[in-house]
A and B are shown apart, each in its own frame.
Chain A
Amino acid sequence: MSVSGMSVSEGPEPYRGALWRQPVNPLVVVDDPEAVELTGPVFGSADVTDLDGDLTRQRPGAPLGERITLTGRVLDRAGCPVRGQLIEIWQANAAGRYAHRRDQHHAPLDPHFTGAGRCLTDDQGRYRFTTIRPGAYPWGDHSNAWRPAHIHFSLFGAAFTQRLVTQMYFPGDPLLPLDPILQSVGDDAARQRLVAAYDPELSTPDWALGYRWDIVLGGPSATRTEGGRR
């Protein structure tokens, strides 16, 4: 098995956590133009402060780790920007530990890093975070299982049907082909859409490395209008 790329002939074991939680019945398709889910919640400036997108400035001191700028655009399936919508992220610190009581990984907590942030997309659907690159961490899926470095993303679109919770990965990580969670995505092209690109243009000299990751929300919407919903 090759660990240099993401194409493997022999994948990891399937994601075990799913066994007793994954529904058995097929989803029931709702094709109702009046469905409430074709609209969705809205958020505004009261919900997000300007500093919430900078995870390196939430505590009195600076967190340890490799500072990164993470940006991209959020589009719908028609390629239109998703404007003014909420993006939330959470992640482990540089040592691979979450500021969560259930995470007892034997790695240090960073008193200067919480690992949660949020922002609203702008008129072009762009988002931007400043954070540190998270570390890999072990988990109990199988013996010696390590999650590749990743950042969890939560997104809202113009409709509740467009809700997306996912994880973003870093290019070139040797753990990618071994990770049952990433590999739970069926095809290689789709998996590649979860991997950010290093962008030298986005890097800031003497300050931060730049990564770019665009996100496309699926799902139908009732209100795909020019200028966004509000």
Chain B
Amino acid sequence: MTPLPTPSQTIGPYFGYALPHPGGGQIAPTGHPDTITVRGRVLDGHGEPVDDALLEFWQPAPDGSRAGAPGSLRRDPVGGAAIGRDGVAFTGFGRVATGADGSYVLRTLPPGGAPYLSVCVMARGLLQHLFTRVYLGEADDPLLSSLDARRRATLVAERERAGVHRFDVRLQGDGAHEETVFLAFG
């Protein structure tokens, strides 16, 4: 018999001492010349910042590998403290909690073989996590081409300057701004 999936429940307000880890938003190896910054805010249906969201990012390595690598949240075997990445391995995984103004910052390398970073959004008040994508510019892509221009624009990061991309997550439209496109996988 096929087992039935365990339902999701909200992440709640108190994950902050358990899930975030040092350097969680620093996927790029230390000092790598190709490092890009993706930054933005998570906002609710009033346009107010969501200050207790957790964003997770998953992406291919620059060479296109989707195998990932361990070491995103290394721990010191002596004292047990979270010490984060070694600054060399590219794990493809990032995790950032939003700040008081709903903001997050991710530093990574451009993904190979796909024009986007995958994002998983969790927050108090969300019954279930949400998937979306950060496209680093317009691309010839089956998802983007299936959306009308207004919806598509919510997935494409705005280039602020060389190497810095802005991507806001709007959990709900606030009247002036479109709700971010969220994804399900068939």
Listed in ascending order, the chain A residues whose CB lies under 8 Å from chain B are 15, 17-25, 27-32, 34-49, 51-52, 58, 75, 77-79, 88-90, 92, 98-100, 102-103, 114-116, 152, 154, 160-161, 163-167, 181-182, 184-185, 189-191, 193-194, 214-220, 230
Contacts and interface: CB of A to CB of B under 8 A. Distances in A.
B60 interface: yes
Given A23-B172, A24-B173, A102-B13, A75 B19 contact: no
Interface of B: 1-19, 44-46, 48, 50, 56, 58-60, 66-77, 80, 91-93, 111, 114, 116, 118, 120, 122-127, 129-131, 142-143, 146-147, 171-173, 179-186
Given A32-B142, A154-B19, A77 B2 contact: yes
15 contacts: A20-B172, A28-B143, A39-B58, A41-B92, A41-B93, A52-B75, A103-B13, A154-B19, A161-B131, A163-B120, A163-B129, A165-B8, A184-B9, A185-B9, A194-B6
Secondary structure at the A interface, as helix, strand, loop or mixed, is loop
B5 A77 contact: yes
A28 B147 contact: yes
A36 B118 contact: yes
Given A36-B59, A48-B75, A160-B58, 11 more contacts: A17-B124, A20-B125, A21-B171, A22-B172, A24-B45, A28-B184, A47-B71, A49-B77, A52-B80, A90-B18, A154-B19
A196 to B, nearest CB: 11
B72 A152 contact: no
Nearest to A15: B127
B59 A219 contact: no
A56 B76 CA distance: 18
Contacts of A90: 14-15, 17-19
Contacts of A28: 143, 146-147, 181-184
A19 B126 CA distance: 9
A208 B30 CA distance: 45
Contacts of A44: 70-71
B79 to A, nearest CB: 10
Contact of A165 (B11, B48, B74, B146): B11
B74 A166 contact: no
A29 B186 contact: yes
A34 B50 CA distance: 32
Contacts of A58: 80
B108 to A, nearest CB: 13
Given A20-B45, A21-B44, A47-B75, A166 B185 contact: no
Contacts of A116: 17-18
A40 B180 CA distance: 22
Contacts of A47: 70-75
A37 B2 CA distance: 23
Most buried by A among B12, B14, B66, B114: B14
A62 to B, nearest CB: 16
A53 to B, nearest CB: 11
B25 to A, nearest CB: 14
A42 B183 contact: no
Contact of A191 (B7, B10, B80, B184): B7
B19 A88 contact: yes
Contacts of A15: 10, 125, 127
A31 B146 CA distance: 12
Given A42-B70, A191-B7, A20 B44 contact: yes
A215 to B, nearest CB: 5
